[in-house]
Amino acid sequence: MELWQQMLRQSIDSADDLVKRFNFDKETAERLNSLFHIRINPYYLNLIRYPGDPIWLQSIPDARELEEDGLPEDPLNEDGDSPVPSITHRYPDRVLFLVTSQCSMYCRFCTRKRKVSDSSKISMRYIQDGLDYIKAHPEVRDVIVSGGDPLMLTDFMLEKVLKGLREIPHVEIIRVHTKMPVVLPQRITPELCEMIKKYHPVYISTHFNHPWEATPEAKKACEMLADAGCPVGNQMVLMKGVNDDAEVVKELNRKLLMMRVKPYYIYQADMVKSTNHFRTPIRVGLEIMDKLRGHTSGLAVPYFVIDAPGGGGKIPILPQYVLYHDDEKIVLRNYKYEVFEYEEVKEDPKSVPLDADSKFLRKSPVVIRERKRRISKPKTRNNIRAKVKVEKPAEE
């Protein structure tokens, strides 16, 4: 038995463990465990510094999970886009391939609570169905292997998945979404890395949410994956009390780059049942983005996205950088809130596609007219600059 498997056996994974370790009320502990299974492995448990800290909030159940918040169990309509139990096919050329229900630590903000930890809903017995579906759909060129955490599979079983995908001619890219480098970095072994090398290109997406997770063990795990030829990216979920602060996010992203991990996404927390206490106003995410771009390396600036409820997919949102745009110029502001004008290229009307208006302008006519009204009277550069300065967020 490998070290990571031994550590899993020592996890806190029952209501009784919560009662003994954290003095939970027994009835509350049982209700929480019934709602969404508890598992905290010893490595991640040891990262907790005090009750209620950012590591605690992510891993220790909270009575607020039992409150009726009116949110859906499947906010992203994954089940509606699932042609077979192991596949979600939402985008034209890529699919999500669920290969296990298990995780080494069950995140309390999980968007897939309805399935994760339940082997009747995500099971290895559905893997062949998933491979058959992908093989039958030549438009699929990018496969995201997820779960649960696919690295909960043994090297032997994971290789069966990767090998099966590589035998499908139209599959170009394999992505493995795993939180193991964060919550149980001991899972990243030389043997695992050697196996993955055989199936490139393989991309790894991981899930650091706070700088305290960027430990020496995590750094070693990420470097091993990078040395094995896997580009590693990070997807952070924005959460109240965990990372809803620009300085925290900046520190995390700088540490990630030193670990050879590219910050890829900041997700607005999903509207998933029993997680409402984690959600922040969208304004918070925009302010964080405003304090990243220009203030740190562009490599440390991810996309801020909302995974649209109902299955709309990931939609990037940005602070307001474009102040005005017409046929003659675009007016922009930079990270210092300085205003600049860029002269528009004069186009021959005959060269403009007939559907250009329907593709871009008519989707947001109110916004375009509103911007024109807002700055059409004071046309001087100084007046525009003054307007921008008024709208600059107050420094905290």
Q: What is the DSSP letter of 333?
A: E
Catalytic residues: 90-91, 94, 103, 107, 110, 112, 270, 307, 314
- Yes or no: say if 38 and 32 are a contact pair by the CB < 8 Å rule: yes
Q: Phi, psi (5° rounding) for residue 28? A: -65, -45
Strands 339-343, 329-333: pairing is: antiparallel
Burial of 322 (0-12, 13-18, 19+ CB in 10 A): exposed
Residues 6+ apart with CB under 8 A from 27: none
Strand 87-91 and strand 94-98: the pairing is antiparallel
* Cα–Cα distance, 33 to 16 (Å, whole number): 10
Long-range pairs of 335-344 with CB within 8 A, sequence gap ≥ 24 = 335/290, 335/293, 335/294, 335/295, 336/294, 337/388, 337/389, 337/392, 338/385, 339/381, 339/384, 339/385, 339/388, 341/381
**Is residue 302 within 8 Å of residue 293, measured between CB atoms?**
no
CB atoms under 10 Å from CB of 383, counted, come to 13
